Amino acid sequence: MHAELGPIDALVNNAGASCPVMNPLYLPEDQLMSVLEVNLIAVFRLARLVLPDMIERGGGTILTVSSLAAVTPNLLGGAAYGAAKAGVRNFMTFLHNTFRGDGVRAITVLPGETNTPILEKRPAPPAAETRAAMTQPEDIAEAIVMALSLPARACAQEIIVCPTRQRDPSADLAFARSIGAPNSQK
Domain range list for the chain: 2-176
Residue 112, pLDDT > 60, answer: yes
User: At residue 83, does pLDDT exceed 60?
Assistant: yes
pLDDT(173) > 70: no
Buried b (16+ CB within 10 A) or exposed e, 21-36: bbbeebbeeebbeebb
Q: Name the band, by pLDDT with cuts 50, 70 and 90, for residue 175.
A: low
- Distances, alpha carbon 144 to alpha carbons 37, 80, 149, 181, 186, in Å: 23, 25, 8, 38, 36
* In the predicted structure, residue 60 carries a pLDDT above the cut 80: yes
Strands in the chain per DSSP E: 10-13, 60-65, 104-111, 158-161
**Active-site option among 31, 70, 81, 126:** 81
CA pair distance 117, 123, nearest whole angstrom: 13
At 5 the pLDDT is 79
Q: What is the reported pLDDT for 127?
A: 87
Whether residue 26 lies in the annotated active site: no
CATH class of 2-176: alpha beta
Is pLDDT larger for residue 8 or for residue 184? 8
Full DSSP string of 82-133: HHHHHHHHHHHHHHHHHHGGGTEEEEEEEE-SB-SGGGGGSSSPPPHHHHHH
Residue 107, pLDDT above cutoff 90:
yes
